[in-house]
Amino acid sequence: MGEFGFLAIVFFGFVVVTIAKGVRIVPQGEEWIVERLGKYNGTLLPGLNIIIPYLDLVRYKLVTKDIILDVQEQEVITKDNAVIMTNAIAFIKITDPIKAVYGVTDFSEAIRNMIMTTLRSIIGEMNLDEALSNRDKIKIRLRESIADEAIDWGLTVKSVEIQDIKPSDSMIRAMEAQASSERERKAVVIRAEGTKQATILDAEAQLQAARLQAEAQVTLADASAESIKRVATALGSDDAPVRYLLGEKYIKTLGDLASSQNAKTVVLPADLQDALRGMFGKPRI
């Protein structure tokens, strides 16, 4: 094989390479951006496509299926200066490939940073309790806030989900300390309330006891008055009842002194008989 054969092989190889460069098969779910001499020339749709070899170049291969973007966890400060940790996941779709590649340097990173920035802004307007309990509200506001920018980049934000939103480790420790203090405060209040109720009940008991004692004394006084009245009626003398009662109490007192365990000696008056006789109104013989 001479020089002619060599040239034939080179030519055949050139034709094969040219055909390979001019024929493009785009898979389903993708669209390719073609540039001619550095300028946008067209978009290749799924299927068989023919381009001009050496002049046309496939610059970008875009996925037109739904794209999942994971937004990393970040610290966010709430309106009441609480630190919480949150992350998200976004579902986007390329609707305009030209804007997606020429409108922004990296549309995935742009959407991710926009979600992070907007999320910090939304949560920063909420208190801690509101941020932890309003995940759906945050999601709706987040999607509405980034929708317009996404359209300018040839993208559609189909959904944004808040994967996790929780207090930071330092905030959890502070909340636990606060909860412990609150439980201790409630325990002190309960103990104080118990002491207060006990004091009130004790005072009421003392008042009731004093009232009953007063009533008992009144009853005894009425009984004594009734007994004196009956004695006076029975004896028929004005001073005889008094002497009778005095004598009775005198004898009872002597008996109590004699029966007491602490009494060692009981001294009786020498004129005991005269005293008793005088008390009961009998003349001395």
Report whether pLDDT(113) > 70. Answer: yes
Report whether pLDDT(133) > 80. Answer: yes
Determine the average pLDDT of the residues in 26-41.
91
Determine the average pLDDT of the residues in 172-179.
68
Report whether pLDDT(95) > 70. Answer: yes
3-class secondary-structure state, position 157: strand
Q: What is the pTM of this model?
A: 0.55
- Give the model's pLDDT for residue 226: 73
How far apart CA 142 and CA 116 sit, in angstroms, is 10
Report whether pLDDT(281) > 60. Answer: no
| Alpha carbon separation from 50 to 19, 39, 54, 57 (Å, rounded) | 9, 17, 12, 11
Among the ranges given (37-41, 66-70, 134-138, 281-285), the one the predictor scored with the smallest mean pLDDT? 281-285
Report whether pLDDT(258) > 70. Answer: no
- Give the model's pLDDT for residue 34: 93
- Give the model's pLDDT for residue 202: 83
Residue 53 and residue 21 in contact, taking contact as beta carbons nearer than 8 Å: yes
Mean pLDDT of the chain: 80
How far apart CA 90 and CA 70 sit, in angstroms, is 7
Report whether pLDDT(248) > 70. Answer: no
Report whether pLDDT(263) > 60. Answer: no
> Which pair of tokens denotes residue 121?
């802004």
Residue 61 pLDDT level (bands cut at 50, 70, 90): very high
Determine the average pLDDT of the residues in 229-237.
64
What is the C-alpha end-to-end distance of the chain, expressed in Å? Answer: 187
Residue 112 and residue 69 in contact, taking contact as beta carbons nearer than 8 Å: yes
Please name which of 71, 70, 75, 72 lies closest in space to residue 167, comparing C-alpha atoms.
Answer: 75
Residue written as tokens 């118990």?
194
Q: What domains can you pick out in the chain, each with its CATH number?
A: 20-63 (no CATH), 67-172 (3.30.479.30), 205-279 (no CATH)
Determine the average pLDDT of the residues in 9-21.
80
Check residues 231 and 208 and name the one with the higher pLDDT. 208
| Alpha carbon separation from 204 to 167, 179, 209, 212, 216 (Å, rounded) | 51, 37, 8, 12, 18
